[in-house]
Chains A and B, each alone.
Chain A
Amino acid sequence: QKEVEQDPGPLSVPEGAIVSLNCTYSNSAFQYFMWYRQYSRKGPELLMYTYSSGNKEDGRFTAQVDKSSKYISLFIRDSQPSDSATYLCAMFSQRGTSYGKLTFGQGTILTVHP
């Protein structure tokens, strides 16, 4: 079983929809929880990060972390065609065998159609 599991999608939604992307994980040592966005034929770029449990909002994007359930989410409000990309969750620990490395989910391909 993978340390990080991500709903594979693909996900296709109409413009303006609310999008929910999710990951679960098994390693309780993870402390930082990130979402990377990757446009077609480009490298991933950090979109948002959250340290420990809680919510973080940045414009139309909200990241949620529930460490008790080992579950993280990314919500996109009022989705736009420009949000069409692959979204990868990633996790990081400053201790243990995972120290210094990112562990990624499988990625979800999102298409927002006009």
Chain B
Amino acid sequence: DAEITQSPRHKITETGRQVTLACHQTWNHNNMFWYRQDLGHGLRLIHYSYGVHDTNKGEVSDGYSVSRSNTEDLPLTLESAASSQTSVYFCASSRDRGKYEQYFGPGTRLTVT
């Protein structure tokens, strides 16, 4: 069955370190998205991609970067982790830009100490 996976599921890191969160989907979807979820804020879009080599900034992109070298993967990098980036991160994918349904991964819980 097609799926979307994230790794690691839990991560503790120190302030200032670079961290990369992995997202892999086997749906063969063109679109991939990264969100962070914090209490009281719902899901906020960090970065998204509409295809290979395409990346775009979302509403909370400062301090994060992504690159898309193939259809299946969209890794999220925190360049220099800050305590404000402690959050739960979700990756999602959708078939193409005109499709409203997004499929979400299980999430990565990141703690920056």
Which A residues lie at the B interface, using CB under 8 A? 6, 8, 32, 34, 41-46, 49, 88, 92, 94, 99-102, 104-107
Min distance, Cβ B26 to any Cβ of chain A, angstroms? 15
Whether the pair B101, A46 counts as a contact (CB closer than 8 A) is: yes
Is B31 at the interface (CB under 8 A from chain A)? yes
- Specify which chain B residues have a CB less than 8 angstroms from the CB of A34 in the assembled complex: 100-101
Q: Decide: B100 and A45 in contact? CB cutoff 8 A.
A: no
**Residue of A with least CB distance to B88:** A41
- B-to-A contact residues, CB < 8 Å: 31, 33, 40-45, 48, 50, 58, 90, 92, 94, 97-98, 100-102, 104-107
Bound complex: CA A45 to CA B105 (Å): 10
Among B40, B43, B45, B50, contact of A44 (Cβ-Cβ < 8 Å): B43
Alpha-carbon separation in the docked complex, A105 to B41 (Å)? 8
Q: Quick one: closest B residue to A41, CB to CB?
A: B107
Docked pose: A104 CA to B104 CA in angstroms: 14
Residues on A with C-beta less than 8 A from B40 are: 8, 106
- Number of contacts between A and B (CB, 8 Å)? 50
The 3 closest A-B pairs by CB, nearest first: A43-B104, A100-B97, A92-B100
Are A102 and B42 within 8 A (Cβ)?
A: no
CB closest chain-B residue, reference A103: B45
Contact of B50 among A6, A32, A88, A100 (CB under 8 A): A100
Indicate if the CB atoms of B98 and A100 lie closer than 8 Å. Answer: yes
| A42–B107 touching, CB < 8 Å | yes
Expressed in whole angstroms, the Cα–Cα distance for A92 and B94 within the complex equals 12
Chain B residue nearest in CB terms to A51: B100
Q: Which chain A positions have C-beta within 8 A of B98?
A: 94, 100
Smallest CB separation, A4 vs chain B (Å) = 8
Q: Which residues of A contact B92 (CB under 8 A)?
A: 43
A100 contact set on B, CB distance < 8 A: 31, 50, 94, 97-98
CB distance B104 to A32 under 8 Å? no
By a CB distance below 8 angstroms, the chain B residues around A106 are: 40-42
Interface centre among B101, B106, B107, by most chain A C-beta atoms within 10 angstroms, is B101
